[in-house]
Amino acid sequence: MSDRVLILGGRGRIGRSVTADLLAHTSAAITVTGRTEAAKPDWDEHQDPHRLTFLRLDLADRAAVDAAVQGCRLVIHCAGPFRYRDTSVLQSCIQQGVDYLDVSDDRSFTRKALAHRAAAQTAGVTAIVNSGVFPGISNSMVRQGVEQLDRADRIHLSYVVSGSGGAGVTVMRTTFLGLQHPFEAWIDGQWQLVKPYTDRETVTFPPPYGTAGVYWFDMPEAYTLVEAFPVQTVITKFGSVPDLYNHLTWMAAHWLPSALMRHSGAIEFLSKVSHAMTQVSDRFSGIGVAMRAEVQGEKQGQLARYCATFAHENTAVAAGYGVGSIAQLLLAGQLQQPGVWSVEQALPTPLFEQTLQQRGVQIQQEWL
């Protein structure tokens, strides 16, 4: 257990899933952090205390963060929402020569992180952003498709989550933050402004989801996939089950005053109310996730349309798989690419498929 892993925000729903995945698939010694001491451990009392420990840490305390990073092999940043985060943790890792992963899902944070690519390359640090389930596993599903075509022109990603997704109130905050402003989408070879939660489509997902409604939503992969692949269009759409939540989110995006939607207090109120509602509906809808990635282009001189689908009964666990699989590869020395990268830029498809198979996960692929 020479490898030490620091998981920031490790007591959150996704952080706990990442911790569980690393305990199952690596031999690393893991330190999870939180802002307050736990009344009791978040893990089994019989867990080896030399392998899993807790550290109280405030990310606003730069000196404390630097001290926590020191001597680690890998830092995993799970402390969102990333709309409110800067890149100080990433910078600390680069300065100390420590590899870095995060579960960021915000375009502005992603852009700031990618701007440190040259510094990470010089330091020999491999840093990978957006490494959860969407973005994360979804990005690698797109890469699978792009690599099977001679030329890729159009990417269409659709996601649906049941209720809370088992991921806590932070996901609710992220959803409402994503409704605040129009965002840029790459359509027909140019950036165009799109309003969030518009242009509803009915998309077919794997069982038990079937058909579900999805809407335009700002995701960092709408930006990173354009950098990774020479495509003309990238569409990212998101929806919820039950469909009632789609209509409520649509009303928040279109009916509530924009000034109110930009107020932190309003975001917090909407997030907590929504989370309370899902605590009831989760009993009936479940907390799973389904994804569909379509890539259109040309293969052997013919127009071709590739489709990959994924489903899991627990969104937070699936996010843990996405992060944990990359962490496993970094710790084993199988993935070394100094710089700051998105998942689709850094993770080769054979390694992606290998680590998911180890977790009993299959990506369904077909030609349409």
Q: Are residues 110 and 17 in the same domain?
A: yes
**Overall average pLDDT of the 338-352 stretch:** 98
Residues 184 and 205 in one domain: yes
Between 276 and 313, where is the model more confident?
313
What is the mean pLDDT of the segment spanning 246-271? Answer: 81
Q: Is the residue at 367 inside a domain?
A: no
Terminal-to-terminal C-alpha distance of the chain: 47
DSSP bridge partners of 7: 32, 76
Stronger pLDDT, 47 or 263, i.e. the higher one: 263
In this structure, the answer to whether residues 272 and 191 fall within a common structural domain is yes
CATH code, domain with 155: 3.30.360.10
The CA angle 153-154-155, to the nearest 5 degrees, is 135
pLDDT in tens, 9-68: 998 889 999 999 999 999 999 999 988 766 445 555 546 667 899 999 999 999 999 999
Q: Are residues 241 and 107 in the same domain?
A: no
* Averaged pLDDT, 316-331: 97
Residue 254: per-residue pLDDT: 83
Inter-residue contact 329 to 351 (CB < 8 Å):
yes
Burial class, 318, CB count within 10 angstroms (exposed 0-12 / middle 13-18 / buried 19+): buried
Same domain, 169 and 86: no
Q: What is the CATH number of the domain that holds 92?
A: 3.40.50.720
**How many other C-beta atoms can be found within 10 angstroms of the C-beta atom of residue 21?**
22
Look at residue 95 and tell me whether its pLDDT is greater than 50: yes
Question: For the chain, how many structural domains are there in total?
Answer: 2
In a domain, 156, yes or no: yes
Is 259 found in the same domain as 198? yes
pLDDT given for residue 49 in this prediction? 66
CA distances from 361 to 90, 312, 326, 365 (A): 30, 8, 15, 13
Residue 82 confidence (pLDDT): 92
Retrieve residue 243's tokens.
């469909």
Contact 338, 123 (CB under 8 A): yes
Confidence of residue 1 (pLDDT cuts 50, 70, 90): very low
Residues 122, 14 share a domain: yes
What integer pLDDT is reported at residue 222 of this predicted model? Answer: 95
Average pLDDT over residues 218-245: 95
Q: What is the pTM of this model?
A: 0.92
Of the residues 296, 312, 328, which one is the last residue of a structural domain?
312
Residue 368 falls within a domain, yes or no? no
Q: Which pLDDT score, from 0 to 100, does residue 217 have?
A: 94
Q: In this structure, are 290 and 324 located in the same domain?
A: no
pLDDT in tens, 127-159: 999 999 999 999 999 999 999 999 999 999 999
Same domain, 58 and 35: yes
Residues 277 and 208 in one domain: yes
Task: Read off the pLDDT of residues 152-210 as tens digits, 9 standing for 90 and up.
Answer: 999 999 999 997 776 666 677 777 777 778 999 999 999 999 999 999 999 999 999 99
Least confident among 33-47, 85-99, 238-252 = 33-47
Q: Which domain holds residue 217?
A: 137-312
> In the predicted model, what is the mean pLDDT of the chain?
91
What pLDDT does 39 receive? Answer: 44
